[in-house]
Homo-oligomer: A and B are copies of this chain.
Amino acid sequence: MSNTKYVKVLAPGTVANLVCGFDVLGMCINEPNDVMEVTMLDTKEIIIKSADGYPLPLDPAMNTAGAPLIEMINEVGGNVGFEVIIHKKIKPGSGIGSSAASAAGATVAANHLLGNRFSKEDMVRFAMFGEKVASGVKHADNVAPCIYGGITLIRGIHPLDIVSIPSPDLFVTVVHPQIEVKTSDARQILRKEVKLKDAIKQWGNIAGLVAGFIQNDLPLISRSLEDVIIEPVRSILIPGFDDVKRLCKEAGALGGGISGSGPSIFMLSETEATANAVNEVMKDVYNKIGLDYNTYVTTINKTGVKIVDA
């Protein structure tokens, strides 16, 4: 297979919201990753294959990797298409950006095969069509960090306004308790109105969090990782949440909370040793509850989707 026709990428998980940044902040992490193999075709079609028998929708218009590519080949025009083989490693419904990884991975891979003709912002625009397939709503708080890497602020999506937020090299521990929380359910239980005084607290916190990231102020990051609006409502869907949060902070985590709409929970730590201690705490909580889980000890992924074989 020619170099210019085939590419293999690692499409990483992402943590949306980052506690006090509901719908506007996201962070890319180094583990887990989907593996995606994309081949350029000289026919105008999108072919989706699941490498490992994982039951993904194979109709490209209904697939989170397919929908962005349909938009892309329509914009490119001519006889160009892609075959996408998905090795689905990030479980759908985990809350760590499974749909975004497929959407962003396919988009970055296809763009690479097209000679990088599209900007990162364009790629986010395409990838959001995958999110629409997954959740019914175009949103960028997973696809943006997945494509840009690091921590991103999505100030708006009409028009798209993505800002990379520099951050210290923190460690990230994630636990995915094996229960299902549907994004649509997690959204539905939120109140449409919030108290002004809570909103003020929240925007004080996001301002502190962004300042803490950019200025490498770990105590400020820690103090600002507080969510007085979404977490109190959503956390009731996640067994063990309060214990995980309290015990992880006692173990030295800077802080953390629900990853995206859950059920995964993430924690930030300054050192790998703390991130490992936090991992043990998380395992302990879910062992006691008797709920299956996966955990990951990883770091902030500063580059986003990575080309590993081209």
Q: A residues within 8 Å of B by Cβ?
A: 20-25, 153-156, 161, 163, 165-166, 190-197, 199-211, 214-215, 217, 220, 223-224, 229
Determine if B207 and A21 form an interchain contact, defined as CB atoms under 8 angstroms apart: yes
Between-chain CB contacts (< 8 Å), 12 pairs: A22-B203, A24-B204, A153-B204, A155-B220, A156-B204, A163-B208, A166-B215, A193-B193, A194-B195, A196-B229, A199-B229, A214-B214
A192, B199: Cα distance in complex, Å: 10
Give the most central of A20, A154, A200, A217: most B CB within 10 Å: A200
Determine if B193 and A223 form an interchain contact, defined as CB atoms under 8 angstroms apart: no
Q: If the complex has contacts A194-B194, A196-B194, are A153 and B211 also in contact, measured as CB distance less than 8 A?
A: yes
Determine if B201 and A156 form an interchain contact, defined as CB atoms under 8 angstroms apart: yes
Determine if B214 and A24 form an interchain contact, defined as CB atoms under 8 angstroms apart: no
Determine if B207 and A207 form an interchain contact, defined as CB atoms under 8 angstroms apart: yes
Q: If the complex has contacts A21-B207, A208-B155, are A193 and B195 also in contact, measured as CB distance less than 8 A?
A: yes
A208, B6: Cα distance in complex, Å: 38
Partner of A207, one of B24, B192, B193, B201: B24
Smallest beta-carbon distance A199→chain B, Å = 4
Q: If the complex has contacts A22-B200, A207-B207, are A224 and B155 also in contact, measured as CB distance less than 8 A?
A: yes
Given contacts A161-B223, A163-B220, A207-B207, 7 further A-B contacts (CB under 8 A): A23-B200, A25-B207, A153-B208, A161-B208, A192-B195, A199-B202, A207-B210
Partner of A153, one of B20, B199, B201, B207: B207
List of B residues within 8 angstroms of A165 by Cβ:
207, 211
Partner of A196, one of B161, B163, B192, B200: B192
List of B residues within 8 angstroms of A217 by Cβ:
163
A211, B151: Cα distance in complex, Å: 12
Partner of A155, one of B21, B22, B24, B207: B207
List of B residues within 8 angstroms of A199 by Cβ:
194, 199, 202-203, 229
A22, B201: Cα distance in complex, Å: 10
Determine if A163 and B211 form an interchain contact, defined as CB atoms under 8 angstroms apart: yes
Smallest beta-carbon distance A217→chain B, Å = 8
Give the most central of A192, A202, A208, A229: most B CB within 10 Å: A208
